[in-house]
Structure 1
């Protein structure tokens, strides 16, 4: 599939003139063509250590993942920020679907691509996932030992939150079955209509009684700070059945078998902090770290340079990937 890539710089962050930028495509093992931005330090000595970045869940590469990728490129790594299957400028139909398998595969396909670039050392490849793609990144690390270092920033476990609700408040067989029945009814209706309904992006306007983290999502996705027209969270969200598979498929089943290095980063005030803390308890080995950022909420680690610990992330990748 020939993708149409936007030639203009349409990111929500400023361009760093010390970093070269290009747009490329690569394919995953399902034949889906993925779109990515490549960030490369100017005048770099090759071959380089490389990092593939994606997330947050429902975002596009012009938002947080691109910011991380460009910053890490300015610190000496070749990076790509990619749109997951079915979203952004990437291929895949129908649109706006999510999958624990395919989205994990997207990371592995990015490693395939990076490992075949002449300017990359294939033995020094890492990944970085943000929010829901933090969980996908940890899952990818459990599946693929080519990934020498993994960072998950402000991570969600999408299986857990879909199956159990926020803070495990819907963790019962009865409540899960109600979700399954609702999805089943939706599938029947949508098949008849030959149309997939969108579930809605970030709530706008925010009700007075909404949880604080809903307001914080709005502050990023629905304002000039982070709004992007291709972002699901900024617009109409995933399809109503887009996350169905997460109800039954556990992402992090073998996280305890990851041999290579993992760094989990989370804000002390983030509603989602428990995902990183509980995942960290399962990781084994002295090359696993959990870093809690004092005062940071979930979306602070999307774009707030006062909270994102880029020095620590750089030193982590330098330790396990080199430069």
Structure 2
């Protein structure tokens, strides 16, 4: 029963597969009020910026800078994630903290989500979401107060996998760190703990294939329902933890897919068939830092990457932490470790 529930929730949170129907407008068009889930440090400035990726999609980001930096050229970081979140949530919190430690940091909304462009809304892509990181590196390298030879990236949750993939490809990235890392294509195509059978995978793909005809006939994209709102006492523990972050005042944001929307019903069409970590060994000799919670349901994904990645690499397990603790718990996220890792390796 536990494995069945895990497979069902994988379909909901990664593929966006659901029998419910909900038509969503672009989050940009909703004009949601300015809202961040954390307090901006008085030692940091924040400004909205935009930049284009290689596919011509305009991405929306926030650039965080330590105040009173003068003419100093700073090391820089690009941060995104979690999967289904927006820059006003966890990635912004990370950017705020790392800017206090002397980095120029951009947190950004991936393509098709949040305030970034892309239609239809709420679509994920192995290729485009990897490209989004490189586009952020493009932006950082053009800033006069940033040393383009000292750029690293941080991926949170599902964007941990995309960050690793971007680093393997993009040799400008000098170091990469992930927290609560998800390999989204792996979970989408194989289920949690790789328990999805061929029959189950085929059924999901058949449903998405038929959904494409429905969308084409209707001239619009169909969406599932936000399943976190259906959380019960019988839900898996990690679903309760997601709810505690995304659906409460702790982490709720109007533009966040996981808080207030849903992925398209065909969201898994490409991510189920395009793996992203086949070239993980090519990150070497640049360093990898993988951070995971001791009690996180996703811990095995970081451990598996650590086993196959080449040196230099490090796996850091946070005692008594669950997956979402590394979204926003300042007493759990090892920011001092992240600071030391990047200051040592961005050179």
TM-score calculated relative to the size of structure 2: 0.89
Q: Distance in 1 between matches of 2:211 and 2:265?
A: 7
Structure number with higher relative contact order (C-alpha < 8 Å, ≥ 6 residues apart): 2
Task: Give CA deviations for 1:29-75 in whole Å, capped at 9, x if unaligned.
Answer: 10000000000001125210000000000000000000000100011
What is the DSSP-based 3-state SS (H/G/I as helix, E as strand, rest coil) of the residue aligned with 1:199? coil
Match of 2:260 among 224, 227, 235: 235
Match of 1:254 in 2: 279
Displacement of 1:148 in angstroms is 0.3
Structure 1 gap segments, 5+ residues each: none
Q: Distance in 1 between matches of 2:53 and 2:164?
A: 18
Q: Distance in 2 between matches of 1:4 and 1:240?
A: 21
Structure 2 gap segments, 5+ residues each: 1-27
What is the DSSP-based 3-state SS (H/G/I as helix, E as strand, rest coil) of the residue aligned with 1:112? helix
What is the DSSP-based 3-state SS (H/G/I as helix, E as strand, rest coil) of the residue aligned with 2:257? coil
Spell out structure 1 runs of 4+ moving beyond 4 A.
3-9
- Residue 229 and residue 262 in structure 1: after superposition, are their counterparts in 2 closer, same or farther (change >3 A)? same
1:214 equivalenced with 2:236 (yes/no): no
Q: Distance in 2 between matches of 1:232 and 1:164?
A: 23
Task: Answer 1 or 2: which has greater helix percent.
Answer: 2
1:268 equivalenced with 2:294 (yes/no): yes
User: In the alignment, is the contact (CA less than 8 A) between 1:202 and 1:234 conserved in 2?
Assistant: no
1:93 equivalenced with 2:93 (yes/no): no
1:105 equivalenced with 2:123 (yes/no): no
Displacement of 1:175 in angstroms is 2.0
Q: Distance in 1 between matches of 2:76 and 2:140?
A: 7
Q: Distance in 2 between matches of 1:243 and 1:222?
A: 23
What is the DSSP-based 3-state SS (H/G/I as helix, E as strand, rest coil) of the residue aligned with 2:174? strand
Match of 1:194 among 213, 219, 235: 219
Match of 2:15 in 1: none
Match of 1:122 in 2: 148
What is the DSSP-based 3-state SS (H/G/I as helix, E as strand, rest coil) of the residue aligned with 1:128? strand
What is the DSSP-based 3-state SS (H/G/I as helix, E as strand, rest coil) of the residue aligned with 1:226? coil
Displacement of 1:6 in angstroms is 7.4
